[in-house]
Amino acid sequence: MELSRRSFLKGVGAAGGIAALDSQLPAIAAAAEAAKKKAATAAKPLEVKRVKSNCAICPNFCGIDVSVVGGVIRTIYPDAARADFYNHGICPKGASGMYNTYDPYRLKKPLKRTNPNKGPNEDPKWAEISWEEAFSTIADRLVKIKADNPSKLVWQHGQGKYLIGEEFCVAFTKAFGTPNMTHRTTACEAARHVADELTWASAGILPDLKYSKYLLNFGANYHEGEQASRWLDWQTAMSREQGLKTVVVEPRLSGVAAKADEWVPVRPGKDVVMLLAMAKVLIDANTIDEPFLVEYTNAPQLVDGEGIILKDKDGKTPLVWDTVSGSAKPYVAGVKPALKGAYTVDGKPMRTAFQALSDGIKDMTPQYAEEIAGVPAATIVRLTQTFAKEARIGETIELDGLELRYRPAVLYTFRGLTAKEYGVQGWRTGLILNMLVGSIDAVGGLILGGAYARPQYFDVSVCEYPPKRADLAQSVYFPYANHHIAQQPAITALDPKAWGLAYAPEMQIFYGTNRPVSIPDAWQQFEGLKKTFSVVIDVIMTETCWYADIVLPDKTYLESWHWAPTRGTPDTGHSAIRQPIVNPYNLEHDAFTIMWELMKRLDLRDKFAEECNKAWGLKEVTFKPGRDYTTREGVEVLWAGRTKKEFSVALEQGFVGSKKSVKSKYLTGAEDKFKGPGKPKIKLYADQLIDTYYKVEGIAKKNNLAKIDLAKYKIAYSPLPNKDHAFPTPHREATGYPLYLITHKRMFRNQSGFTANNAILNQALGPDAATNYVQMNVVTAKELGISDGDKVTIETRVGKVSGIAQVVQGIRPDTIAVSYHYGTFSPGLAPAARNGTWINQVLEHHPDLISGHNSFNDTKCKVYRA
């Protein structure tokens, strides 16, 4: 491996060779001292400037204020002006983000693979090439693919979508003619998004913490790894002073759990049963918001014996039981729907969707949940009663002269309920709990982002077959994978015909993603990667780069112009840019100019401009045909088109923000889109799922699809969550593996490889930040004869991996936890980057059959001393 690393360093032209990371800090200190002495004797004082920009290390997108002295970044602080709109601070990764730019292991020149063999122990024998040769090589291949079948090109990005902007990636693939653009969301939170879309026809939720009094948090680690961390952590702290109580339900004592009022250690994967038991307690006690369920949701709609919603003669309009006429009718003015009960319509038995829920959970007692989920029945009852009490069902509050529903209790999640085989059903259960108390879009409740903005998700899936996309998104295999399927192209490439794909992918372009490392059963991903000619655009030699044929160096977020995505809150919105602050290695290109150059060489430049306008929704200020754009010019177009403000505002402030009125916050979502007769309804009962299952069944039988196990699809596509969703495949089948294996995120690393080299995080913050551990309970460790600091082996049905035991009290005795972004193997990374355990390589791969989301938290394992 060391020979390969030296070969790599020679290939990138590292002056004088690069020493191990352990020796970097003294060298940096010496250089700083020399610079200090030089500055002291300099005739001119060093230029000092401040630049407002936007962090891009993780998807929190914090505003930053960067100080630059003599052309060198000295500090990165949070931008104080953003505090009223989003972040009040930044994390250690963001504060030390300059290291990613000054990293001596940076890629600086295009590289070409000269060894055709690909593997972790294969030396690629990199040859440094010019940009002209790189562009010519890539363009020549693209010309041939486009003439043959454009679909044979697969574009993949991860964090790259948050750099130049995913819309440019969309435009690139549209202009080329391939349907294969795949992003990262199934490695993150896709199941939560899809659950939202199936339930209220859009995605994006946040608790209304400004007014909440009780937060039930099922595994959202917002002190470290949530996408709204820098707002959630601050707002929860502020709201505690106003009486907010927080309860964290998760197997491991995370930083969030440690700061909560109560930690409830639930058994991994079994939280669905706990939630169903809570629903039963609410329903049995009749502590539910009946007006909300009747007026906003489809709970009153009639369901037949096959689980299908009863429709009117038009075949589209759902029917309810009208208590006025005693008959089945559409919910229109004058009709008063029954929420509960069973009825007979045209001689056939029917019941309301709410009754179907109530009947389906009749055995989900707190005692049963205690047996399955490992949470005492008394705790489940107490939490439920407190949730109902704090929801203040029936109360209103006046804000800005408006009388609004007041439900200051909210249940929330990020990955806790979703990074599983039945992830969609996990969060659907949480949404149903919020519906039962009426907290959806209420003051203090769960605020929806753009309710009913995507009504197509209430429809039966197209269930495409044969699939057109290599990731199989929205095909018969993953009907509601609306956010692409990050892991699937590599799996499809192994045997395209087995999936019914009419072509074999030939070329992949990866931008800002270390895709295979981020996916369960990771070595399968690398096997798929061998099947295609791969081009990687990145800042360091990740494992994906190590398997590539061409590697193109990218600029970091501190070196380039970007239209910067931001994280809105329930009360604010904003638009922002990133601007180049330094360019220490004089890099010539970033992903934007790489795209533009390739489009020009393919004679697709004008088509690209046209598709950019469509992707970004530009109408007045647009990308024009017949010309090139620099990265700054591209950002100027977007700023003008989106904000209608002078670009000088972007340069000086880095962003523009706005605050939402009470009316826009509370009365444009559920109140406007769902309330009352004649409107679509929030789907307590996801009837499109059962309808889609029957469609999948027909297609699978007609085409004899061996890849579809109809029994599993029937479980996954239930219109209501049930206890089966607490028993993922490893829990049922891995009988010889007694421990649950879960993953989590730490503050010191991001999923992408570029944070792994950060010497400030790896060394300045102490050894604990530089590696991860195999965390286990003290009781379990004693039973296994393991002591803190012992080297141990984790064994699953996929394989084995070693790590260092960390024996603690803050984890369930039946659970093992390992954070998921350590233990990289690329010889092109700093030695310290390779510390720790790469846990994804032994996780079983059982993606959610609805959304395609990866099952990061379902694997079972053995642990023993190595």
**Quick one: average pLDDT of 400-427?**
97
pLDDT at residue number 12: 41
What is the tens place of the pLDDT at every residue in 313-329? 999 999 999 999 999 99
Strands 48-54 and 63-69: what pairing? antiparallel
What is the band of 289 on the pLDDT scale with cuts at 50, 70, 90?
Answer: very high
The DSSP line for 97-163 is THHHHH-TTB--S-EE------STT-----EE--HHHHHHHHHHHHHHHHHH-GGGEEEEESGGGGT
What is the band of 42 on the pLDDT scale with cuts at 50, 70, 90?
Answer: low
What is the tens place of the pLDDT at every residue in 202-220? 999 999 999 999 999 999 9
**Quick one: average pLDDT of 536-554?**
97
pLDDT at residue number 41: 56
What is the band of 147 on the pLDDT scale with cuts at 50, 70, 90?
Answer: very high
Taking the model in full, what pTM does it have? 0.94
Q: Which of 117, 116, 98 is nearest to 106 (CA)?
A: 98
Reply yes or no on whether the pLDDT at 753 is more than 70: no
Q: How far apart are CA 553 and CA 540, in angstroms?
A: 8
Kindly tell me the burial class for residue 710, based on how many C-beta atoms sit within 10 Å of its own C-beta (0-12, 13-18, 19 or more): middle
Token representation of residue 269: 């994967």
Residue 344 has a CB neighbour count (10 Å cut-off) of 9
What is the band of 19 on the pLDDT scale with cuts at 50, 70, 90?
Answer: very low
What is the band of 679 on the pLDDT scale with cuts at 50, 70, 90?
Answer: very high
**Quick one: average pLDDT of 462-483?**
97
Q: How far apart are CA 343 and CA 325, in angstroms?
A: 13
pLDDT at residue number 770: 87
**Quick one: average pLDDT of 593-609?**
98
Token representation of residue 292: 């909300």
Reply yes or no on whether the pLDDT at 432 is more than 50: yes
pLDDT at residue number 39: 53
pLDDT at residue number 752: 61
**Quick one: average pLDDT of 54-64?**
94
Q: How far apart are CA 611 and CA 606, in angstroms?
A: 9
What is the band of 29 on the pLDDT scale with cuts at 50, 70, 90?
Answer: low
Percentage of residues of the chain with pLDDT beyond 70: 95
What average pLDDT does the structure give for the chain? 93
Q: How far apart are the first and last CA of the chain?
A: 23
What is the tens place of the pLDDT at every residue in 372-395? 999 999 999 999 999 999 999 999
Reply yes or no on whether the pLDDT at 23 is more than 80: no
Q: Please give the backbone phi and psi of residue 368, each rounded to the nearest 5 degrees, phi first.
A: -65, -40
What is the band of 760 on the pLDDT scale with cuts at 50, 70, 90?
Answer: confident
Is the model more confident about 21 or about 159? 159
Q: How far apart are CA 217 and CA 726, in angstroms?
A: 18
What is the tens place of the pLDDT at every residue in 493-524? 999 999 999 999 999 999 999 999 999 999 99
pLDDT at residue number 16: 30
- Is residue 558 within 8 A of residue 73, CB to CB? The reply is yes
Q: How far apart are CA 846 and CA 426, in angstroms?
A: 15
**Quick one: average pLDDT of 681-693?**
98
What is the tens place of the pLDDT at every residue in 78-116? 999 999 999 999 999 999 999 999 999 999 999 999 999
pLDDT at residue number 8: 39
Reply yes or no on whether the pLDDT at 22 is more than 50: no
Reply yes or no on whether the pLDDT at 689 is more than 90: yes
pLDDT at residue number 38: 57
